[in-house]
């Protein structure tokens, strides 16, 4: 299985997890500002931008460690583009990370993983 197919499987698992926990889907694989956001969902009135990280194990590091400051900046740029397209600057927004560990068969949802400084 190629990397893109694995990533897509991880996004599907994260999407299903979020739906099961009461989130409303908005968009998947949004591209804007030259960058991509894996999932955009709503929790109540809050728009949540979600980065999904799939790992076979934690031997080379956790998924959250892969969401570097540079990656965060890219996600924030894409979120700003989405907000501009949807005229949603006055709604609450946050940035989450979902780690999926295949070896441990776990999903870890990190709410407010990072923010705009």
What would the pLDDT profile of 57-95 be if each residue is shown by its tens digit? 666 667 777 899 999 999 999 999 999 999 988 999 999
Q: 54 vs 7, 13, 34, 44, 77, CA distance in Å?
A: 7, 10, 22, 26, 22
Query: pLDDT value at position 2?
Result: 41
- Edge-to-edge strand ranges of the sheet holding 106-114: 24-32, 35-43, 46-55, 93-101, 106-114
Query: pLDDT value at position 8?
Result: 61
Query: pLDDT value at position 9?
Result: 77
* Alpha carbon of residue 1 to chain centroid: 22
User: What's this model's pTM, rounded to 2 decimal places?
Assistant: 0.89
Higher pLDDT pick, 96 / 58? 96
Find the mean pLDDT for residues 97-108.
91
Query: pLDDT value at position 48?
Result: 98
Higher pLDDT pick, 41 / 106? 41
Give the tens place of pLDDT for each residue, 20-69: 999 999 999 999 989 999 999 999 999 999 999 998 766 666 777 789 99
Query: pLDDT value at position 5?
Result: 43
């Amino acid at each position: 299985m190629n990397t893109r197919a694995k990533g897509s499987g991880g996004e599907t698992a994260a999407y299903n997890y979020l739906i099961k926990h009461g989130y409303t889907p908005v968009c998947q694989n949004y591209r804007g500002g030259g960058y991509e956001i894996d999932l955009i969902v709503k929790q109540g009135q809050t728009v949540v931008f979600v980065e999904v990280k799939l790992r076979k194990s934690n031997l080379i590091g956790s998924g959250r460690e892969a969401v570097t400051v540079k990656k965060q900046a890219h996600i924030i740029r894409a979120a700003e583009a989405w907000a501009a397209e949807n005229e949603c600057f006055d709604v609450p927004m946050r940035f989450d990370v979902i780690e999926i560990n295949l070896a441990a068969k776990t999903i870890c949802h990190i709410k407010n993983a990072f923010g705009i400084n």
